[in-house]
């Protein structure tokens, strides 16, 4: 039996169980620098890459959209590190997550992220791989390099289907 999931609006509060939202938010700490020509929105996400002598990687993921409607056929987690996705283009994208611990498929949540919002999955947060929408999109990705198996993947039956995003 299939289940349609309607993506939710991505907010810091709603995403808090899974990680951080990276966006300009005047309720967060910010201050003026660079002779007054720059506003620094400070310390927005917890980059956690140090386990087992890990180091920070800065990458670009060029992601091609899947055909919609998208069936959720996998979830993965990085037990040793966080992973941040910051869109470099102008398109929204989908974020599919579930709480840390043993994967609870019934707890899967889907968010629609806008092009001015990045996300940072905390270590162990279950997520689908990067889901671009509408056109090929680049994402700046900050994650971990180093020893150890840092990607657990679970295959799903595809019965959870994401409502099409126009």
Ligand X SMILES: NC(=O)N[C@@H](O)C(=O)O
Residues that bind ligand X (CB under 6 A): 76, 83, 127, 129-130, 151
- Picking from 128, 21, 19, 23, the residue whose alpha carbon sits closest to that of residue 66 is 128
Q: Of 128 and 160, which has the nearer Cβ to Ni ion?
A: 128
Q: In the structure encoding, which two tokens stand for residue 121, read together?
A: 């999955």
Q: Of 122 and 127, which has the nearer Cβ to ligand X?
A: 127
Shortest approach of ligand X to residue 34 CB, angstroms?
33
Q: In the structure encoding, which two tokens stand for residue 6, read together?
A: 């309607």
Shortest approach of ligand X to residue 147 CB, angstroms?
16
Shortest approach of ligand X to residue 162 CB, angstroms?
16
Residues contacting residue 99 through CB under 8 Å, at least 6 positions apart: 17, 18, 107, 125, 126
Give me the residues that bind Ni ion (CB under 5 A), please. 83
């Amino acid at each position: 039996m299939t289940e349609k999931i309607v993506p939710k609006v991505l907010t810091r509060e709603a995403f808090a169980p899974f990680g951080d939202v990276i966006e300009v938010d005047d309720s967060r700490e910010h201050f003026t620098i660079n002779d007054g020509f720059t506003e620094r929105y400070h310390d927005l996400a917890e980059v956690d890459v140090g386990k087992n002598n890990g180091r920070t990687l800065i990458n670009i993921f060029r992601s091609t959209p899947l055909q919609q409607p998208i069936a959720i056929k996998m979830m993965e987690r990085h037990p040793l590190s966080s992973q941040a996705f910051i869109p470099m283009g102008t398109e929204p994208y989908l974020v599919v997550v579930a709480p840390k611990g043993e994967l609870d498929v019934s707890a899967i949540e889907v968010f629609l992220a806008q092009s001015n919002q990045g996300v940072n999955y905390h270590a162990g947060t279950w997520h689908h791989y990067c889901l671009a929408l509408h056109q090929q999109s680049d994402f700046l990705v900050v994650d971990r390099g180093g020893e150890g198996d840092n990607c657990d993947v679970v295959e799903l039956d595809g019965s959870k289907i994401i409502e099409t995003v126009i």
